[in-house]
Structure 1
Amino acid sequence: MWLHHSARLPHLPFPAPPRSPRSSPPFLFRPAASAMHSHPSTASPRDEDQKAKKNDEDKLRQAISYHNQTKHSLTSGYARGPGGLDWANQPNPFLRFLSSPQLPLLHLPPQPGDSPLYASLFSSSPPSSPQPISHSTLSRLLYDSLSLSAWKTTGLSTWSLRVNPSSGNLHPTEAHVLCPPLSSLSDHCPFLAHYSPKDHSLEILAQVPLDRSPLAADGSTLFVALCSIFWREAWKYGERAFRYCNHDVGHAIAAVAIAAAALGWDARLLDGLGHDELHRFLGLDAANRPPPSQLPDRPIRGRFPWIESQHPDCLLLLFPFGSQPSVDFQSLSSAISCFLSLSWTGTPNYLSKDHVYWDIIYRTAEAVKKPLNAVERFSVNPFHPSGLISEKLYKNYSVREIVRKRRSAVDMDGVHAMGRDTFFQILLHCLPSGQLDPGQKQGKQFALPFRTMTWDAEVHAALFVHRVKDLPQGLYFLVRNEDHLDWLKMAMRPEFEWVRPEGCPDGLPLYRLARGNCEELAKQLSCHQEIASDGCFSLGMVARFEPILREKNAWMYPRLFWETGVLGQVLYLEAHAIGISATGIGCYFDDDVHKVLGLKGMEFQSLYHFTIGGPVLDRRIMSLPAYPGPGIDA
């Protein structure tokens, strides 16, 4: 639970935000609304078109309403949450499919050369020669992206950590794979399986006959589906949980893309598919879920098993680097529709005895479902290396060492200062386009792991620089899509400098906005958390918001959070590659951040905060191996 403190922003280079009270509706209980009856339509095509536009506008309004309702405010309080932690109903962090056939994956001890150097992922050529999909490589993919990384224990408490980070270590993200036939696993036909990180195994949900499989006939492609269980986050964070679930989707996308690259595989979102296709792909049963018209319209407590169901988020195609898979979304949709007739196995375990239904989460999830875009053309962006100042800035860690040692810092030392070139190097790896020829602009997503996404970069970073040697303290801004630069300058405070800092590499669109000690400011904006002020620098990820939602539609709303999660994963890995640590910050005062930057309206919104610095380790907590050994349940 976040504690509420009344405070004002310090008078640094920026004026304190004016008080703007915001009412927060009470926590009410109300029975489900009665069902709405529909009648056959006799409308003309023009009427149908107007109806469709109104429907799209209603969905957009719902997404924006959710975003505004779930903001934290320095002056008027926090978004609605449970007010306390109901430990008796804490969701089980491990989803299992009871009675499904289980296929153990390999626990491969590290061997020299089995994982490329982390810095090589960003080199001028694909990271390694593509390896064939096999029991071994599938095991490595999941072991280096979504598996457990350690167990922690102190006193009577024991908990697990994972390679992919999660808000509050609650892990709402579940993964499924559609894999070609593999020797020793499935010799005859592809299979669809749920990944179980607790024991690093696959739970087979369905066998897919070859004539129904959408995979490449030569066995060179693999599908990874990501889903969210909103209840896992809502148990702790209430209404704001939908934001955090989508942060976690972005982290998982990047984690899979990085692990795939280490095997010589590329990854790309199959974003032409819609929510219904993903639902069928996963064999999810909607029969026990109330229709939207019958869902309660207020938060209520009770037993609602359907709250534990998975919400399909996205489908990733993995394929050899340098290849150009042919994907026709209409044909892919037709192939997936045949999955309804597969023989599905396994029953998901219960996660909690009782629940709290946060109505706005499920209404928003319904509004932002993406429809099928059968005419969308699948394409793979060219690979661009990321800028490299010097390999000496990195320790010679392998990809596996970096991804598996990643931890979320719980405290920063307030002392460690990073070198200026190290700071610039981290930001170079945060650029979506990587290295460009003179005159080209950042914006297209060509570099790892941003190339997984199908849209141009929409997320920027406002940086609070505290302890970077030879760089003045102050507020800086990283422009990750330079087509937005003029809009940003017009939208933000006119007194900002927009000066390139001394020593800034060519091709890094970083600007200093104002000098000054921003430690107290950063702390207060991030819900008074000292971790935002005690690192080398912290940042707020600022996205072009309402314009892109209107250009694309409401389904773009969660994708903006995915992009912040992908960027956050890069920041995590970069911090560990240089020998320090990082953490994502989901609690911040939204509109107070905007006021500091001078942003008004909904053109730009802050979606995620982050901090990087020297970690303080809690010696009272003991670390245990993720997988102690065969037959041992940690």
Structure 2
Amino acid sequence: MRAAKLGLRMPVSGGAVKRLPGFARASSSSSSVSSGKSMAEGERLVDAEVATLIKYHEETKHSFRNYARGPHGLDWANQPNPFRRYEGARVVKLEHLPEVPPQSGDLLWPVIFQDWVTPKPLDKSSLSQLLYDSLALSAWKVAGRSTWSLRVNPSSGNLHPTEGYVISDAIEGVSAVPFIAHYAPKEHALEIRAEIPVELWNRLSSGLPPGSLLFGFSSIFWRESWKYGERAFRYCNHDVGHAIGAVAIAAASLGWNTCMLDGYSGHELGSLFGLPHVRASIDRGPAKGVMRELEMEHADCIIAVFPSGEEISEQPYYHVSELMGDVRWMGQMNALSKEHVRWGIIYEAAQASEKRAVTDAALTRSVPLTDLMITSAEYEPLTIRQVVRKRRSAVSMDGMYGMLPDVFFQILAKTLPTGGEETQGAPRQLPFGVLPWNAEVHLVIFVHRVVGLASGIYVLVRNEAHAEVLKKAMTEEFVWEKPEKCPPSLPLYALQYGDVKELAQRLSCDQEIAGDGFFSLGMLARFEPALKDFGPSMYPRLFWETGLIGQVLYLEAHAFGVSATGIGCFFDDPVHQVLGLQGNSFQSLYHFTVGVPRVDKRIQQVQAYPGPVNANF
């Protein structure tokens, strides 16, 4: 770390929503309503589902008096296995890639944001790299007799509820015919779940250029609820966003683009991934016992991965379940725990927010935009692989260093969906072009130690169509001033000046890490209006957007030689009260902090592959 860059121990002075093609507003044709229901019935059902999700959100809030319902202690005997395996499926071991210092010609971190990377052909080597730099293990940690793994994609509590699936045409060395495979990160291998007919693959990939693949995500809620109880549904969807961002950035390093195919229903995605159609009870709990249905996966979404620079035509969507009748699935899911605890409200929220209808959603495209804020020389000389694979979540921060303002502004600029002076609706900055909706999430920033920038509360307006609504919703006492050194194109505004370290800590469940970084922030989503505009399936998607933002914050921090941490524990309504917000128009969904990490020297780090012989699970 370069002390000069970070300001070593220097004290610091004190709308309307645009409808995108393929992301329809809530109606009987885009919600859970079947074609046999009337429009009025459909609207009532959508309203009921939105009400269910708002109720879930309210009941899983933390307050100064009470935390959301969860286990009173951790049942270590039933800690879920973090590794899903399909026993009996054919295993294809993938290639491992060297982690070496940058060589001449290697791609350094800023390149994927500044220019197109020449696309690599889709083969076993490039597919191995995509997974190695997105969802694979990144290291093992060892402390005494305990060992645990870390992954490239972060997860709340390191519990990893997110699973990944590859659907592709034939690839030499992987499968001689089109296939569906589950990714096993502990082994860095694919488990071939099914071989599919060429005709089926042609339908699934219709509209995509040659050399494309599909990448699916699913969640196992039990892995998070084991520790976090009813709030776990939120955290699972944070993790989906992180995983989407991890895959999008790894794809960009290969010269590939990504976009979400959001026309499929959850049921159709489950059929495509080969997931059993089993629903857990929504009876209020907690209830304890052997409940294997809690280990089943919830299909979240699917993205297309395709060569950059290629055009995509309109994507037709099919009732996949009707096309999968003759597909033979291979492998049986492994058991994750002996006993389980069911928190019924999680499965009630999952059902209410599931996208149930197949729609004709179109695609959006992500085009990396030139970075005009600061030069790439300000970054550490790290390759893309070094940044994504060396990312770690800081456990604590030193609370002494300061960050230079250009670095602060650069990190914030990378969280914008369009970047610089581009307007909403323009091609979106990596990785936000993967999402088929305009930005719904803004950043409320608690600035502690940014050299030359007064401490206080700031807001980054990520969708300027919301600016006036957001301003009217907040307290009239906020000043809404443009910081003097802030680049004109960065929509950052000071709201209130003063030392906010203790406030940030208090709001983030009294965690010192929220006040010991350069800055911390809360991700504030346009909430109930977004659910009513786009339907109940928007609820998890708001969390996906926050996870995507968090992934950018993690990687940008590491690219500058520092660290970051996602904070899922915060006092919800006290955050809103500080901002003067009332009702459900805006809600804080995720907190984050960036700073200089303290390193615990008692914990040793071991390479990811091969891992230690005594590794847990």
TM exceeding 0.5: yes
- In the TM superposition, residue 122 of structure 1 has moved relative to its aligned partner by 1.2
Cα drift, residue 417 of structure 1: 0.8
SS at match of 2:180: strand
Following the alignment from structure 1 to structure 2, what is the Cα–Cα distance between the partners of residues 552 and 218?
A: 29
Summarize deviations over 1:176-224 as a string: whole Å, max 9, x none: 101221112212x111110000010000000011111123697411111
Partner in structure 2 of residue 609 of structure 1: 591
The aligned amino acid for 1:298 is G
1:367 corresponding residue in structure 2? 352
Q: Report which stretch shifted further, 379-388 or 550-559.
A: 379-388
Q: Does 1:586 align with 2:576?
A: no
Contact (CA 8 Å) 2:366, 2:432: kept in 1 or not? Answer: no
Task: Tell me what 2:218 maps to.
Answer: 227
User: What's the CA shift string for 1:323-354, capped at 9, x where partnerless?
Assistant: 12234333xx1456312320100001000000
> What's the RMSD between the two structures over aligned residues?
1.9
Deviation at 1:110, TM superposition (A): 4.1
Answer yes or no: is the 8 Å Cα contact 1:473–1:516 preserved in 2: yes
Q: Which runs of 5+ in 1 are unaligned?
A: 1-44
- Name the structure 2 match of 1:471: 453
Question: Is residue 38 of structure 2 the alignment partner of residue 48 of structure 1?
Answer: yes
Residues 364-391 of structure 1: CA deviation (Å, up to 9, x unaligned): 1000011334332234255433443122
2:150 equivalent to 1:161:
yes
Shift of 1:152: 0.2
Cα offset, 1:297, TM superposition = 3.4
Q: Does 1:68 align with 2:58?
A: yes
Name the amino acid aligned to 2:313. Answer: S
1:292-346 per-residue CA deviation (whole Å, 9 max, x = no partner) reads 7x6433321111001000100000100011112234333xx14563123201000
Matched, 1:178 2:167: yes
Worse-superposed segment, 393-402 or 611-620: 393-402
Answer yes or no: is the 8 Å Cα contact 2:163–2:183 preserved in 1. Answer: yes
- After superposition, give the CA deviation of every residue in 1:78-132 in whole Å (9 maximum; x if it has no partner): 0000111000000001010001000000012247368521111110x32x11111
On the 8 A contact 1:408/1:581 being kept in 2, the answer is: yes
* Alignment partner, residue 23 of structure 1: none
Aligned to 2:24: none
Contact kept? 2:365, 2:427, Cα under 8 Å: no
Change (3 A) 1:525 1:445: farther
Correspondence for 2:245? 254
**Distance 1:496-1:177 versus aligned 2 partners, 3 A rule:** same
User: How far did 1:458 drift?
Assistant: 0.5
What is the TM-score when the length of structure 2 is the normalising length? 0.90
| Alignment pair present for 1:98 and 2:87 | yes
Q: 1:202 pairs with 183, 190, 193, which one? A: 190
Once the two structures are superposed, residues 259-303 of structure 1 have per-residue CA deviations (whole angstroms, 9 ceiling, x without a partner) of: 0000000000001111111011011122xx35x7x6433321111
Give the number of the structure with larger relative contact order, counting CA–CA contacts within 8 Å between residues 6 or more apart: 2
Name 1:574's counterpart in structure 2. Answer: 556
For 1:221, give the aligned amino acid.
Answer: S
Q: 1:631 to 1:222 in 2, by over 3 A?
A: farther
Does structure 1 conserve the Cα–Cα contact (< 8 Å) formed by 2:225 and 2:232? Answer: yes
Shift >6 Å, 4+ stretches: 629-634
Alignment match of 1:267 (pick from 248, 258, 267): 258
Q: Does structure 1 retain, via aligned residues, the 8 Å contact 2:364–2:435?
A: no
Amino acid at match of 2:304: L
Correspondence for 1:41: none
What secondary structure is seen at the aligned counterpart in 1 of 2:324?
Answer: helix
Partners of 2:53 and 2:539 within 8 A in 1: yes
Which segment is superposed worse, 273-282 or 295-304? 295-304
2:209–2:311 CA contact under 8 A, matched in 1: no
Match of 1:353 among 338, 348, 359: 338
Contact 1:443 1:483 in 2 (8 A): no
Q: Any conservation in 2 of the 1:445–1:455 contact (CA below 8 Å)?
A: no
Alignment TM-score, normalising by the size of structure 1 = 0.88
Q: Residue 310 in 1 paired to residue 303 in 2?
A: no
Name which of 490, 493, 518 aligns with 1:508: 490
Aligned length: 577
Q: Which amino acid aligns with 2:438?
A: D
Match in the other structure for 1:243: 234
From 376, 382, 400, the equivalent of 1:415 is 400
Pick the aligned partner of 2:119 from 130, 136, 146: 130
Give the residue type in structure 2 aligned to 1:362: Y
Question: Structure 2 CA distance, aligned partners of 1:442 and 1:469?
Answer: 31
2:379 equivalent to 1:394? yes
Give the CA deviation at 1:46: 11
Alignment match of 2:579 (pick from 597, 600, 605): 597
Distance 1:419 1:480 in 2: 22
**Cα offset, 1:633, TM superposition:** 7.2
Structure 1 counterpart SS, 2:496: strand
1:516 maps to amino acid: G
* Counterpart in the other structure of 1:481: 463
In the superposition, relative to structure 1, how do residues 615 and 402 fare at CA in structure 2: closer, same or farther (>3 Å)? same
Question: Contact 2:504–2:514 (CA<8 Å) still a contact in 1?
Answer: yes
**CA separation of 1:344 and 1:81: change in aligned 2, threshold 3 A:** same
1:79 paired with 2:68, answer yes
Question: How far apart are the structure 2 equivalents of 1:614 and 1:377?
Answer: 42
**Aligned counterparts, 1:376-455, within 5 A:** 376-436=361-421, 441-442=423-424, 446-455=428-437
Matched letter for residue 357 of structure 2: L
For the Cα contact (< 8 Å) 1:268–1:317, is it kept in 2?
Answer: yes
Change (3 A) 1:420 1:442: farther
Write out aligned runs for 1:110-149 (5 A). Answer: 110=99, 112=103, 116-123=107-114, 125-126=115-116, 128-149=117-138
Structure 2: unaligned runs, 5 residues or longer? 1-34
Is residue 443–residue 457 contact of structure 1 (8 Å, CA) maintained in 2? no
Counterpart amino acid of 1:300?
A
Residues in 2 aligned to 1:631 and 1:532: alpha-carbon distance in whole angstroms = 36
1:564-596 residue CA offsets vs partner (Å, 9 max, x unmatched):
000000000011001010000000000000000
Q: Give matches, 1:542-553, under 5 Å.
A: 542-553=524-535
Q: CA deviation at 1:50?
A: 1.8
Shift of 1:436: 2.8
Q: Which amino acid aligns with 2:339?
A: D
Match of 2:310 in 1: 323
Q: Does 1:108 align with 2:97?
A: yes
SS in 2 for 1:260: helix
Change (3 A) 1:633 1:467: closer
The SS at the match of 1:550 is: helix
2:61 is matched by which residue type in structure 1? K
**Match of 2:602, SS?**
coil
CA separation of 1:218 and 1:268: change in aligned 2, threshold 3 A: closer
**Correspondence for 2:328:** 343
Q: Mapping of 1:534-573 within 5 angstroms?
A: 534-573=516-555
Map 1:20-31; keep pairs closer than 5 Å.
Answer: none
After TM superposition, list the pairs within 5 Å mapping 1:616-631 onto structure 2: 616-628=598-610
Structure 1 residues 605 and 444 mapped into 2: Cα distance closer, same or farther (>3 Å)? farther
Q: Please state whether the residue corresponding to 2:288 is helix, strand or coil.
A: strand
* Superposed displacement of residue 629, structure 1: 7.5
In the alignment, which residue of structure 2 is the partner of 1:191? 179
Quote the Cα distance in structure 2 between the aligned partners of 1:190 and 1:410: 43
